[in-house]
Chains A and B, each alone.
Chain A
């Protein structure tokens, strides 16, 4: 069973616009991570937010976590064509300790 579910499944925007993607999960977590995957490549870790944190920033990335709603969002500001990739959330379950990946959001940034 999938712990994290991303929304939307696909997103297409113009360069310079902001991109927001969401992740929902089902059980209690210790932390939530976001990864990026460029076409034909492995996943690359972007950012980790712990269950006691509400917001975290890294460069043009802003991640929020709402544990009461069991959801997280990833905001990429001032997007670039190089941001075109799939983005996955991954949750570390506090019950099982397992890391579960969602199905991903495919982002296309048009130049």
Chain B
């Protein structure tokens, strides 16, 4: 998994509660991404980061926020979780602009009841 860890790996929460997912990388890569994976939709980009404190929105960013205060950590926050945010969340890194390859973490399965 290219030195990428995600925590927690599984979480069950209730509608309306805040949830933070963490992505941690050990190789100081500048570009990090958060995706969600749902049946029938493939992977969809939520937010991405191109450096500390530099983030931008992806395709499905509504209801999500991110923060990157350190190179190694990229946090995804659901301020008030909804059932539509039940999904598997993947973090990915891109080693640099000279490559398009992305390396993925193991994923976090989130269930919002």
Binding site for B on A (CB under 8 A): 2, 4, 30-31, 33, 40-45, 48, 88, 92, 98-99, 101-104
Q: Give the Cβ gap from B46 to chain A, nearest Cβ, in Å.
A: 13
Would you call B100 and A2 a contact (CB within 8 A)?
no
Interface residues on B, range: 20 to 34
Shortest B11–chain A CB gap in Å is: 15
CB A72 to nearest CB in B, in angstroms, measures 14
User: Which label, helix, strand, loop or mixed, suits the secondary structure of the A interface?
Assistant: strand
Question: Which residues in B have some Cβ–Cβ distance to A below 8 Å?
Answer: 1, 4, 35, 40-45, 59, 90, 92, 100-107
Query: Which B residue's beta carbon lies closest to that of A32?
Result: B100
Residues of B with C-beta under 8 A to A2: 41-42
Looking at the complex, which one of B4, B43, B103 makes contact with A88 (CB distance below 8 Å)?
B43
Contact A33 B101 (CB under 8 A): yes
A42 in complex: contacting residue of B1, B42, B44, B59, CB < 8 Å? B1
